[in-house]
Structure 1
Protein backbone atom coordinates (compact mmCIF):
# COMPACT_ATOMS: atom_id res chain seq x y z
CA UNK A 1 0.00 0.00 0.00
CA UNK A 2 1.47 3.34 -1.05
CA UNK A 3 2.06 6.00 1.59
CA UNK A 4 0.76 9.23 0.08
CA UNK A 5 2.88 11.20 2.56
CA UNK A 6 6.13 9.61 1.29
CA UNK A 7 5.53 9.88 -2.43
CA UNK A 8 8.68 10.86 -4.37
CA UNK A 9 8.46 14.32 -5.93
CA UNK A 10 10.56 13.28 -8.92
CA UNK A 11 10.72 9.84 -10.54
CA UNK A 12 13.18 9.15 -13.38
CA UNK A 13 12.75 6.05 -15.57
CA UNK A 14 15.05 4.19 -17.93
CA UNK A 15 12.54 2.56 -20.26
CA UNK A 16 14.49 -0.55 -21.26
CA UNK A 17 13.50 -3.78 -22.99
CA UNK A 18 11.47 -2.75 -26.05
CA UNK A 19 13.73 -4.64 -28.46
CA UNK A 20 13.77 -7.83 -26.39
CA UNK A 21 9.98 -7.65 -25.98
CA UNK A 22 9.60 -7.55 -29.77
CA UNK A 23 12.19 -10.30 -30.36
CA UNK A 24 10.39 -12.67 -27.98
CA UNK A 25 7.30 -12.25 -30.15
CA UNK A 26 9.05 -12.47 -33.52
CA UNK A 27 8.26 -8.83 -34.26
CA UNK A 28 10.45 -6.02 -35.63
CA UNK A 29 12.12 -3.85 -32.99
CA UNK A 30 9.96 -0.86 -33.89
CA UNK A 31 6.91 -2.87 -32.74
CA UNK A 32 8.52 -3.01 -29.32
CA UNK A 33 9.02 0.75 -29.34
CA UNK A 34 5.36 1.17 -30.30
CA UNK A 35 4.28 -1.01 -27.36
CA UNK A 36 6.69 0.92 -25.13
CA UNK A 37 5.13 4.22 -26.18
CA UNK A 38 1.73 2.95 -25.04
CA UNK A 39 3.24 1.96 -21.69
CA UNK A 40 4.78 5.41 -21.37
CA UNK A 41 1.33 6.98 -21.76
CA UNK A 42 -0.05 4.76 -18.97
CA UNK A 43 2.83 5.69 -16.64
CA UNK A 44 2.44 9.41 -17.37
CA UNK A 45 -1.28 9.15 -16.58
CA UNK A 46 -0.64 7.13 -13.41
CA UNK A 47 2.08 9.52 -12.21
CA UNK A 48 -0.43 12.34 -12.50
CA UNK A 49 -3.02 10.37 -10.51
CA UNK A 50 -0.47 9.57 -7.79
CA UNK A 51 0.44 13.23 -7.37
CA UNK A 52 4.04 12.88 -8.52
CA UNK A 53 5.33 16.32 -9.49
CA UNK A 54 8.11 15.42 -11.93
CA UNK A 55 8.45 12.40 -14.24
CA UNK A 56 11.55 12.10 -16.43
CA UNK A 57 11.87 9.37 -19.05
CA UNK A 58 14.94 8.36 -21.05
CA UNK A 59 13.49 8.37 -24.56
CA UNK A 60 16.59 8.56 -26.79
CA UNK A 61 20.23 8.79 -25.77
CA UNK A 62 23.16 10.34 -27.59
CA UNK A 63 24.41 6.75 -28.06
CA UNK A 64 21.17 5.56 -29.70
CA UNK A 65 22.21 7.11 -33.02
CA UNK A 66 24.40 4.00 -33.43
CA UNK A 67 21.30 1.90 -34.03
CA UNK A 68 20.02 1.06 -37.52
CA UNK A 69 18.54 3.84 -39.65
CA UNK A 70 15.23 1.96 -39.75
CA UNK A 71 15.01 1.71 -35.96
CA UNK A 72 16.01 5.33 -35.33
CA UNK A 73 13.56 6.53 -37.97
CA UNK A 74 10.82 4.39 -36.46
CA UNK A 75 11.43 5.78 -32.98
CA UNK A 76 11.03 9.37 -34.15
CA UNK A 77 7.93 8.55 -36.21
CA UNK A 78 6.41 7.09 -33.06
CA UNK A 79 7.30 10.27 -31.18
CA UNK A 80 5.38 12.31 -33.77
CA UNK A 81 2.44 9.92 -33.48
CA UNK A 82 2.45 10.14 -29.68
CA UNK A 83 2.59 13.93 -29.68
CA UNK A 84 -0.17 14.29 -32.26
CA UNK A 85 -2.50 11.82 -30.53
CA UNK A 86 -1.89 12.88 -26.92
CA UNK A 87 -1.44 16.65 -27.09
CA UNK A 88 -5.10 17.46 -26.41
CA UNK A 89 -5.15 15.18 -23.34
CA UNK A 90 -1.83 16.54 -22.04
CA UNK A 91 -3.23 20.07 -22.22
CA UNK A 92 -6.54 19.07 -20.61
CA UNK A 93 -4.70 17.28 -17.77
CA UNK A 94 -2.50 20.34 -17.10
CA UNK A 95 0.71 18.39 -17.90
CA UNK A 96 3.75 20.49 -18.77
CA UNK A 97 6.17 18.87 -21.22
CA UNK A 98 9.85 19.80 -21.22
CA UNK A 99 12.90 18.33 -22.95
CA UNK A 100 16.35 17.46 -21.62
CA UNK A 101 18.98 17.29 -24.34
CA UNK A 102 19.72 18.86 -27.70
CA UNK A 103 16.51 17.94 -29.49
CA UNK A 104 17.27 20.25 -32.43
CA UNK A 105 19.37 17.47 -33.95
CA UNK A 106 16.38 15.15 -34.36
CA UNK A 107 14.40 14.85 -37.65
CA UNK A 108 12.54 18.06 -38.53
CA UNK A 109 9.02 16.59 -38.39
CA UNK A 110 9.67 15.24 -34.89
CA UNK A 111 11.23 18.56 -33.85
CA UNK A 112 8.20 20.51 -35.10
CA UNK A 113 5.75 18.20 -33.31
CA UNK A 114 7.77 18.47 -30.12
CA UNK A 115 7.95 22.26 -30.27
CA UNK A 116 4.19 22.36 -30.81
CA UNK A 117 3.77 20.38 -27.58
CA UNK A 118 6.25 22.51 -25.64
CA UNK A 119 4.41 25.66 -26.71
CA UNK A 120 0.93 24.26 -26.02
CA UNK A 121 1.82 23.04 -22.50
CA UNK A 122 4.29 25.72 -21.39
CA UNK A 123 1.86 27.42 -19.01
CA UNK A 124 0.51 24.22 -17.47
CA UNK A 125 1.09 23.80 -13.74
CA UNK A 126 0.48 20.10 -13.13
CA UNK A 127 2.78 17.12 -13.66
CA UNK A 128 6.10 18.14 -15.24
CA UNK A 129 6.79 15.48 -17.87
CA UNK A 130 10.44 15.67 -18.90
CA UNK A 131 11.59 13.79 -22.00
CA UNK A 132 15.33 13.07 -22.17
CA UNK A 133 15.84 13.20 -25.92
CA UNK A 134 19.21 13.07 -27.67
CA UNK A 135 20.43 13.18 -24.09
CA UNK A 136 23.66 11.95 -22.52
CA UNK A 137 24.74 12.88 -19.01
CA UNK A 138 28.44 13.22 -19.84
CA UNK A 139 27.54 15.56 -22.70
CA UNK A 140 25.28 17.51 -20.33
CA UNK A 141 28.11 17.93 -17.81
CA UNK A 142 30.54 18.90 -20.59
CA UNK A 143 28.13 21.61 -21.76
CA UNK A 144 27.76 22.89 -18.19
CA UNK A 145 31.55 23.09 -17.75
CA UNK A 146 31.81 24.91 -21.07
CA UNK A 147 29.19 27.48 -20.00
CA UNK A 148 30.95 28.01 -16.67
CA UNK A 149 34.33 28.38 -18.42
CA UNK A 150 32.89 31.05 -20.68
CA UNK A 151 31.58 32.88 -17.61
CA UNK A 152 35.05 32.79 -16.04
CA UNK A 153 36.65 33.95 -19.30
CA UNK A 154 34.20 36.85 -19.52
CA UNK A 155 35.01 37.88 -15.95
CA UNK A 156 31.49 37.14 -14.69
CA UNK A 157 32.59 34.33 -12.37
CA UNK A 158 35.63 33.69 -10.19
CA UNK A 159 37.03 30.13 -10.29
CA UNK A 160 37.11 29.97 -6.49
CA UNK A 161 33.38 30.73 -6.41
CA UNK A 162 32.43 27.65 -8.45
CA UNK A 163 30.43 25.28 -6.23
CA UNK A 164 28.35 22.15 -6.72
CA UNK A 165 25.33 24.46 -6.96
CA UNK A 166 27.03 26.35 -9.79
CA UNK A 167 27.44 23.14 -11.77
CA UNK A 168 23.90 21.98 -10.98
CA UNK A 169 22.48 25.29 -12.19
CA UNK A 170 24.13 24.89 -15.59
CA UNK A 171 22.83 21.37 -16.28
CA UNK A 172 19.76 20.84 -18.50
CA UNK A 173 17.77 20.29 -15.30
CA UNK A 174 19.25 23.33 -13.51
CA UNK A 175 17.67 26.60 -12.49
CA UNK A 176 19.26 28.44 -15.44
CA UNK A 177 17.31 26.14 -17.74
CA UNK A 178 14.37 24.20 -16.25
CA UNK A 179 14.82 24.20 -12.45
CA UNK A 180 14.01 20.50 -11.97
CA UNK A 181 14.90 18.94 -8.60
CA UNK A 182 17.09 15.83 -8.43
CA UNK A 183 15.10 12.58 -8.64
CA UNK A 184 14.47 10.71 -5.42
CA UNK A 185 13.76 7.50 -7.34
CA UNK A 186 15.25 6.01 -10.51
CA UNK A 187 13.57 2.97 -12.04
CA UNK A 188 15.15 0.80 -14.72
CA UNK A 189 13.20 -1.99 -16.37
CA UNK A 190 14.28 -5.23 -18.13
CA UNK A 191 16.73 -6.49 -15.51
CA UNK A 192 19.73 -4.36 -16.53
CA UNK A 193 21.68 -2.95 -13.55
CA UNK A 194 23.28 0.27 -14.76
CA UNK A 195 22.46 3.95 -15.35
CA UNK A 196 23.67 4.10 -18.97
CA UNK A 197 24.81 7.74 -18.93
CA UNK A 198 21.52 8.96 -17.45
CA UNK A 199 21.36 11.88 -15.00
CA UNK A 200 24.71 10.92 -13.48
CA UNK A 201 25.14 14.15 -11.50
CA UNK A 202 21.50 14.40 -10.44
CA UNK A 203 21.23 10.80 -9.19
CA UNK A 204 24.08 10.99 -6.65
CA UNK A 205 21.64 10.24 -3.81
CA UNK A 206 18.70 8.77 -5.72
CA UNK A 207 17.24 5.43 -4.72
CA UNK A 208 17.63 2.90 -7.55
CA UNK A 209 15.00 0.25 -8.22
CA UNK A 210 15.62 -2.37 -10.92
CA UNK A 211 12.72 -4.34 -12.35
CA UNK A 212 13.03 -7.54 -14.41
CA UNK A 213 9.87 -6.60 -16.34
CA UNK A 214 10.43 -5.49 -19.95
CA UNK A 215 9.24 -1.92 -20.46
CA UNK A 216 6.20 -2.69 -22.68
CA UNK A 217 4.91 -4.96 -19.87
CA UNK A 218 5.60 -2.42 -17.10
CA UNK A 219 2.10 -1.79 -15.77
CA UNK A 220 0.85 0.83 -13.30
CA UNK A 221 0.85 -2.02 -10.74
CA UNK A 222 4.56 -2.68 -11.35
CA UNK A 223 5.15 1.06 -11.09
CA UNK A 224 3.50 1.13 -7.68
CA UNK A 225 5.64 -1.83 -6.57
CA UNK A 226 8.76 0.18 -7.43
CA UNK A 227 7.47 3.16 -5.46
CA UNK A 228 6.64 0.88 -2.52
CA UNK A 229 10.24 -0.40 -2.62
CA UNK A 230 11.45 3.21 -2.52
CA UNK A 231 9.17 3.98 0.41
CA UNK A 232 10.50 0.99 2.36
CA UNK A 233 14.04 2.38 2.41
CA UNK A 234 15.68 4.61 4.99
CA UNK A 235 17.36 7.47 3.10
CA UNK A 236 20.29 8.70 5.21
CA UNK A 237 22.26 10.70 2.61
CA UNK A 238 25.58 9.55 4.07
CA UNK A 239 24.48 9.98 7.68
CA UNK A 240 24.04 7.29 10.31
Structure 2
Protein backbone atom coordinates (compact mmCIF):
# COMPACT_ATOMS: atom_id res chain seq x y z
CA UNK A 1 0.00 0.00 0.00
CA UNK A 2 1.27 3.46 -0.94
CA UNK A 3 0.63 5.70 2.06
CA UNK A 4 0.98 9.48 1.81
CA UNK A 5 1.89 10.97 5.18
CA UNK A 6 1.27 14.70 5.38
CA UNK A 7 3.46 16.10 8.14
CA UNK A 8 1.88 19.07 9.94
CA UNK A 9 1.97 20.89 13.27
CA UNK A 10 0.62 24.09 14.78
CA UNK A 11 3.80 25.18 16.55
CA UNK A 12 5.75 26.53 13.56
CA UNK A 13 8.25 29.04 14.88
CA UNK A 14 8.30 31.59 12.03
CA UNK A 15 4.58 31.55 11.25
CA UNK A 16 2.64 29.86 14.07
CA UNK A 17 -0.54 27.97 13.13
CA UNK A 18 0.25 28.57 9.45
CA UNK A 19 -1.29 25.33 8.19
CA UNK A 20 -4.75 26.50 9.25
CA UNK A 21 -4.40 30.09 8.01
CA UNK A 22 -7.21 30.96 5.62
CA UNK A 23 -6.87 31.21 1.85
CA UNK A 24 -10.09 31.98 -0.03
CA UNK A 25 -12.07 31.14 3.09
CA UNK A 26 -10.52 27.71 3.72
CA UNK A 27 -7.51 26.55 5.74
CA UNK A 28 -4.30 26.38 3.76
CA UNK A 29 -4.04 22.69 4.59
CA UNK A 30 -7.46 22.01 3.06
CA UNK A 31 -6.29 23.37 -0.29
CA UNK A 32 -3.22 21.16 -0.18
CA UNK A 33 -5.23 18.06 0.70
CA UNK A 34 -7.61 18.72 -2.18
CA UNK A 35 -4.67 18.87 -4.59
CA UNK A 36 -3.01 15.76 -3.15
CA UNK A 37 -6.25 13.80 -3.49
CA UNK A 38 -5.98 14.21 -7.26
CA UNK A 39 -3.13 11.67 -7.16
CA UNK A 40 -3.78 8.45 -9.05
CA UNK A 41 -1.08 6.45 -7.25
CA UNK A 42 -1.64 7.20 -3.56
CA UNK A 43 -3.80 4.61 -1.82
CA UNK A 44 -4.34 6.47 1.45
CA UNK A 45 -3.62 9.95 2.82
CA UNK A 46 -2.99 10.51 6.53
CA UNK A 47 -2.09 13.65 8.47
CA UNK A 48 0.72 12.92 10.92
CA UNK A 49 0.87 15.45 13.72
CA UNK A 50 2.14 15.45 17.30
CA UNK A 51 0.44 14.30 20.46
CA UNK A 52 0.83 17.75 22.02
CA UNK A 53 -2.23 19.75 23.08
CA UNK A 54 -1.40 22.48 20.53
CA UNK A 55 -2.06 20.03 17.73
CA UNK A 56 -5.56 19.07 18.87
CA UNK A 57 -6.76 21.70 16.37
CA UNK A 58 -5.34 19.53 13.59
CA UNK A 59 -7.22 16.51 14.89
CA UNK A 60 -10.44 18.55 14.74
CA UNK A 61 -9.52 19.75 11.24
CA UNK A 62 -8.93 16.18 10.08
CA UNK A 63 -12.33 15.11 11.35
CA UNK A 64 -14.02 18.02 9.58
CA UNK A 65 -12.27 17.34 6.28
CA UNK A 66 -12.57 13.55 6.54
CA UNK A 67 -8.86 12.82 6.61
CA UNK A 68 -7.40 10.21 8.92
CA UNK A 69 -4.94 11.52 11.50
CA UNK A 70 -2.07 9.89 13.36
CA UNK A 71 -0.45 11.45 16.43
CA UNK A 72 3.08 10.81 17.63
CA UNK A 73 6.22 12.43 18.95
CA UNK A 74 6.63 16.16 18.37
CA UNK A 75 10.42 16.16 17.94
CA UNK A 76 11.17 12.57 16.92
CA UNK A 77 9.41 12.90 13.60
CA UNK A 78 11.16 9.82 12.25
CA UNK A 79 9.46 7.78 14.97
CA UNK A 80 6.13 9.44 14.18
CA UNK A 81 6.44 8.41 10.53
CA UNK A 82 7.64 4.90 11.32
CA UNK A 83 4.81 4.17 13.75
CA UNK A 84 2.26 5.69 11.36
CA UNK A 85 3.54 3.58 8.46
CA UNK A 86 3.53 0.48 10.67
CA UNK A 87 -0.02 1.16 11.81
CA UNK A 88 -1.30 1.35 8.23
CA UNK A 89 0.91 -1.52 6.98
CA UNK A 90 2.38 0.65 4.25
CA UNK A 91 4.82 -0.78 1.71
CA UNK A 92 5.81 2.65 0.38
CA UNK A 93 5.55 5.99 2.14
CA UNK A 94 5.14 9.34 0.39
CA UNK A 95 6.38 12.14 2.64
CA UNK A 96 4.71 15.52 2.15
CA UNK A 97 4.81 18.59 4.39
CA UNK A 98 1.91 20.84 5.34
CA UNK A 99 3.68 24.01 4.26
CA UNK A 100 3.23 23.28 0.54
CA UNK A 101 -0.36 24.30 -0.33
CA UNK A 102 0.33 24.17 -4.07
CA UNK A 103 1.39 20.51 -4.10
CA UNK A 104 0.96 19.03 -7.57
CA UNK A 105 -0.51 15.52 -7.89
CA UNK A 106 1.25 14.89 -11.21
CA UNK A 107 4.66 15.60 -9.66
CA UNK A 108 3.77 13.33 -6.76
CA UNK A 109 2.70 10.54 -9.13
CA UNK A 110 5.79 10.95 -11.32
CA UNK A 111 8.03 10.65 -8.27
CA UNK A 112 6.19 7.52 -7.15
CA UNK A 113 6.44 6.03 -10.64
CA UNK A 114 10.19 6.73 -10.79
CA UNK A 115 10.62 5.15 -7.36
CA UNK A 116 8.74 1.99 -8.34
CA UNK A 117 10.31 1.67 -11.80
CA UNK A 118 13.84 2.04 -10.49
CA UNK A 119 13.18 -0.19 -7.48
CA UNK A 120 14.60 2.51 -5.28
CA UNK A 121 14.72 2.58 -1.50
CA UNK A 122 14.48 6.37 -1.36
CA UNK A 123 13.35 8.74 -4.10
CA UNK A 124 12.73 12.47 -4.22
CA UNK A 125 12.73 15.51 -6.47
CA UNK A 126 15.23 17.31 -4.23
CA UNK A 127 18.71 15.91 -4.87
CA UNK A 128 19.38 18.05 -6.83
CA UNK A 129 16.32 20.30 -6.74
CA UNK A 130 15.03 21.56 -10.07
CA UNK A 131 11.39 22.10 -9.07
CA UNK A 132 10.25 25.26 -7.29
CA UNK A 133 10.51 25.16 -3.51
CA UNK A 134 7.08 24.06 -2.33
CA UNK A 135 6.70 20.99 -4.56
CA UNK A 136 8.96 18.63 -2.64
CA UNK A 137 8.08 14.93 -2.72
CA UNK A 138 9.88 12.02 -1.08
CA UNK A 139 9.07 8.31 -1.42
CA UNK A 140 10.51 5.67 0.88
CA UNK A 141 10.09 1.92 1.11
CA UNK A 142 8.90 0.70 4.49
CA UNK A 143 12.06 -1.39 4.87
CA UNK A 144 14.25 1.69 4.34
CA UNK A 145 12.17 3.74 6.79
CA UNK A 146 12.42 0.95 9.35
CA UNK A 147 16.17 0.80 8.93
CA UNK A 148 16.44 4.55 9.43
CA UNK A 149 14.22 4.32 12.52
CA UNK A 150 16.48 1.77 14.20
CA UNK A 151 19.85 3.09 13.04
CA UNK A 152 19.61 6.91 12.98
CA UNK A 153 20.98 8.24 16.25
CA UNK A 154 21.63 11.96 15.80
CA UNK A 155 18.85 14.29 16.91
CA UNK A 156 18.72 16.08 13.53
CA UNK A 157 18.23 12.72 11.83
CA UNK A 158 15.32 11.96 14.16
CA UNK A 159 13.79 15.39 13.50
CA UNK A 160 14.24 15.25 9.71
CA UNK A 161 12.64 12.00 8.59
CA UNK A 162 14.71 11.13 5.52
CA UNK A 163 18.03 12.77 6.36
CA UNK A 164 19.61 9.46 7.34
CA UNK A 165 18.58 7.97 3.99
CA UNK A 166 19.71 10.94 1.93
CA UNK A 167 23.09 10.96 3.68
CA UNK A 168 23.64 7.22 3.05
CA UNK A 169 23.80 6.89 -0.75
CA UNK A 170 25.89 3.71 -0.59
CA UNK A 171 23.41 1.96 1.68
CA UNK A 172 20.19 2.74 -0.18
CA UNK A 173 19.21 2.75 -3.86
CA UNK A 174 18.21 6.33 -4.59
CA UNK A 175 16.41 8.05 -7.46
CA UNK A 176 15.71 11.70 -8.22
CA UNK A 177 13.04 13.32 -10.40
CA UNK A 178 14.08 16.45 -12.30
CA UNK A 179 12.40 18.98 -14.54
CA UNK A 180 13.66 21.25 -17.30
CA UNK A 181 14.14 24.15 -17.36
CA UNK A 182 15.32 24.44 -13.77
CA UNK A 183 12.69 26.40 -11.80
CA UNK A 184 14.19 25.89 -8.34
CA UNK A 185 14.75 29.64 -7.89
CA UNK A 186 11.01 30.10 -7.30
CA UNK A 187 9.64 29.72 -3.77
CA UNK A 188 6.02 28.86 -3.00
CA UNK A 189 6.47 26.99 0.25
CA UNK A 190 5.02 28.78 3.28
CA UNK A 191 7.50 29.45 6.04
CA UNK A 192 6.81 33.11 6.81
CA UNK A 193 4.30 35.89 6.16
CA UNK A 194 5.84 36.88 2.81
CA UNK A 195 5.50 33.30 1.59
CA UNK A 196 1.88 33.20 2.72
CA UNK A 197 1.10 36.46 0.92
CA UNK A 198 2.55 35.13 -2.33
CA UNK A 199 0.67 31.83 -2.19
CA UNK A 200 -2.55 33.69 -1.32
CA UNK A 201 -2.08 35.92 -4.38
CA UNK A 202 -1.57 32.87 -6.59
CA UNK A 203 -4.79 31.31 -5.34
CA UNK A 204 -6.72 34.55 -5.67
CA UNK A 205 -5.43 35.13 -9.20
CA UNK A 206 -5.91 31.57 -10.45
CA UNK A 207 -9.09 30.63 -8.61
CA UNK A 208 -11.24 31.39 -11.66
CA UNK A 209 -9.54 28.44 -13.37
CA UNK A 210 -10.75 26.15 -10.64
CA UNK A 211 -8.64 24.27 -8.14
CA UNK A 212 -6.76 22.05 -10.58
CA UNK A 213 -4.25 24.56 -11.94
CA UNK A 214 -0.99 22.83 -12.77
CA UNK A 215 2.65 23.26 -11.88
CA UNK A 216 3.40 24.78 -15.26
CA UNK A 217 0.53 27.25 -14.92
CA UNK A 218 1.91 28.32 -11.54
CA UNK A 219 5.40 28.77 -13.02
CA UNK A 220 3.92 30.77 -15.91
CA UNK A 221 2.15 33.01 -13.39
CA UNK A 222 5.35 33.52 -11.39
CA UNK A 223 7.25 34.45 -14.56
CA UNK A 224 4.49 36.84 -15.60
CA UNK A 225 4.36 38.55 -12.19
CA UNK A 226 7.97 39.27 -11.19
CA UNK A 227 7.00 41.88 -8.59
CA UNK A 228 4.79 39.43 -6.72
CA UNK A 229 7.12 36.43 -7.13
CA UNK A 230 10.00 38.52 -5.83
CA UNK A 231 8.51 39.32 -2.44
CA UNK A 232 10.10 36.24 -0.87
CA UNK A 233 13.07 35.86 -3.23
CA UNK A 234 15.54 36.84 -0.50
CA UNK A 235 14.71 33.70 1.50
CA UNK A 236 16.93 30.74 0.69
CA UNK A 237 16.19 27.06 0.65
CA UNK A 238 17.43 25.28 3.74
CA UNK A 239 20.63 24.03 2.14
CA UNK A 240 22.20 23.44 5.57
CA UNK A 241 20.32 20.16 5.74
CA UNK A 242 18.39 19.55 2.52
CA UNK A 243 15.54 21.19 0.68
CA UNK A 244 13.38 18.19 1.51
CA UNK A 245 14.15 18.25 5.20
CA UNK A 246 12.09 21.12 6.53
Q: Which one has more relative contact order, counting CA pairs under 8 Å at least 6 apart?
A: 1
Q: TM-score normalised to the size of structure 2?
A: 0.31
Of structures 1 and 2, the larger Rg is shown by: 1
Report which of the two has the higher share of helix. 1
Q: TM-score normalised to the size of structure 1?
A: 0.31
